[in-house]
Structure 1
C-alpha cells in the first residue's frame, strides 16, 4: 500500500533507521546461531531439549530470512542474498522465498488466489470442483490447529507444484534458485550427521518450525474490498512476537516494508489511529486471543468470498 502522510512522531521513528549495519538484527542472528549450534552440540540423552531449541532457532532464522530479503542486514542485494543462501530449515530456498515474497508485496493483489503467491484462498470455481475429502482437509487447514498440523504439507505441496509449473514454462531462474539452495542443504545435513541429533529428529524440528510460523501467517491477510484493509495488526509483544520479529504488526510492515523489525512497534504506536483506520480495524490484542478464538474454528472460508475473474 502507499504510505499515508506521516505524522511528526512517525517521521521521527523513521529517521532513526540505521545508516549502516542494523546491529540488533546481527545480535538476533548471533543468538540464532548460538541456539542452533548449542542444540547440535548437546550430548545424547537431551533429545527433548535439542528439539525445542532447534524449533526455536529455525523459526527465528526464518524470520531473519524475511529481514534479509527486505535488505535488513546490508545495503547490497548481493550481500544479503549471499547471507540468505544458507537455510538450515532445509525446505524453502532463500531465492525462491525472496522472489515470491516480493511478488506478495504488490498490495493490490493481496489475497488473490492467482496473483498473490502467499494467498490461502482458492478461486471459488476451483473450490467447487474439488473432491469432498479434499474440501474437508482444506476446511481443517483453515483452523489454527489444522494450519499447524497439515498446513506445512499443504503449503509445500502448492509451493512445489507452482515451481514445477514455472520450470515447465521455461523459467530457468527457478532451477538456478533451487541449485543455489543445495550447498546449504548439504552443509546442514553434514553438521547434523556429526551431532547426536538424528536426521528424523532434525527434519521433525524443521517441520515444527514451519508449524510455529503458521501461527503468524494464519490471519495475516483477509479478503477485503480495499487493499489497505487486508493486513492485520496483532498487538503482541511476547515470545511469539519476538520469534516473528514483530511481523505481527503486519499492516505497518506492508506500509513500510524496508523498516527494521525493531522499529515496527514504535512506528505503530506513533501512527496507531491511522494504521487502524487504514486497515479497517483488523486488529487483535495478542496471539493468545487468536489461539483461544480460532484453534478449532475457521476464521475464513477456503473459497475467496470477494474474488471475481479479471477481465482480459
Structure 2
C-alpha cells in the first residue's frame, strides 16, 4: 500500500510541476483551477514524508529514506532538515524549547509575541522550510557560527542546525537542497508567463502546512512532550490525511504506522478532544501567556520513553 500511496503522491507532484504548465495550460487556461484540489494533496504528501521520517513508510530503511527524500523534494524542503526538526519536536514539544504559541508575560507583551506568531501561523513555517535551501551555500565554518548564534534554551533552532551540520547530514542536506531548487526552478520555467500560478500553489501549501502544524498542541499543557490532541474528522478525511488527526496516539506511539493508529485509538479507549476545523480556527486567537490555566504544567509524572520510531 505504501508504494501505491507514494506513486500517487509523486504523480500529483509531476502533474502540478510539469504536466499542468507544459501540456494542459497551453490547451486551456481553465486547467489552472486544477491547482485548487492539488493544493489539498499537500496534507497526505506531508503525512507520507512524516511516515518516512519515523522509518515507518517502508520496512526497508534505505528505501524508506530514499522515498522520503524524493517526496520531500516535491514538498519543497530538504528531508534531512525536516527529519531533524520533527524528531526534535517529539523530544521537546511543550517544553521551554518548543511551545509555539506560549510567551512569558514577564519578559514580553502579547503584541510582541503576536508579531512572531501570526506570520509563522499564516505561512511562515513552510516558507522558512523552503528558504532553508539557501543554507546549502554556507561552508562548514559558517554552519558552526550559525549553531552558536542560534543556540538558546528557548528554541530548538540551535539544536536543529547542529544536527543538520553533522558531516554526513550536511552532505545529504546540500544535495537535497540542490534538488529542491532544480525541481522548482524547472517548474517555474515551464510555467513561463503563468509562473504566478505556481507561486499561488506554493502559497496555498504554505498556508495549509503552517496552519495545521501546531493545531494539535495549541493550548495543551506545558512540560509534556507526549501531550497532543486527537482531532475529529469524518472517516473518509481521516483516511485522506493518513490518520494524522490521531495525533495524541501518534505522540504516545511514534513507531506505529499510519494505518495502525486507529486500532490503537480504539484499544486504548482514547477520545477526540476537538474537531479538526475548530482546532485549526481557534489558533487565530493568538499567543497564550505561560501563566494561563490552560497551559500550566501538570504535576510531575514518571519519565516515559519516546525514542521509539526515532
Name the structure 2 match of 1:112: 95
Structure having the larger proportion of residues in helix = 2
* Cα separation, 2, equivalents of 1:158 and 1:83: 20
Taking the TM superposition and a 5 Å limit, the aligned residue runs for 1:227-266 are: 227=224, 230-237=227-234, 241-266=238-263
* Cα separation, 2, equivalents of 1:60 and 1:243: 6
* Cα separation, 2, equivalents of 1:76 and 1:214: 31
| Aligned partners of 1:234 and 1:248 also within 8 Å | yes
Unaligned ranges ≥5, structure 1: 1-22, 277-281, 308-312
CA positional deviation for 1:123: 5.4
TM-score of the superposition, structure 2-length normalised?
0.68
CA positional deviation for 1:306: 4.1
Name the structure 2 match of 1:211: 207
| Aligned partners of 1:138 and 1:302 also within 8 Å | no
Q: 1:301 to 1:177 in 2, by over 3 A?
A: farther
Name the structure 1 match of 2:19: 41
Asked whether 1:128 is paired with 2:118, we answer no
Name the structure 2 match of 1:95: 80
Secondary structure of 1:263's aligned partner: helix
Name the structure 2 match of 1:287: 276
| Aligned partners of 1:233 and 1:249 also within 8 Å | yes
CA positional deviation for 1:220: 1.3
Name the structure 2 match of 1:17: none
CA positional deviation for 1:112: 1.7
CA positional deviation for 1:225: 5.5
Unaligned ranges ≥5, structure 2: 149-161, 298-310
CA positional deviation for 1:217: 2.2
Paired residues, number: 261
* Cα separation, 1, equivalents of 2:33 and 2:41: 12
Secondary structure of 2:75's aligned partner: coil
| Aligned partners of 1:113 and 1:123 also within 8 Å | no
* Cα separation, 1, equivalents of 2:199 and 2:145: 26
TM-score of the superposition, structure 1-length normalised?
0.67
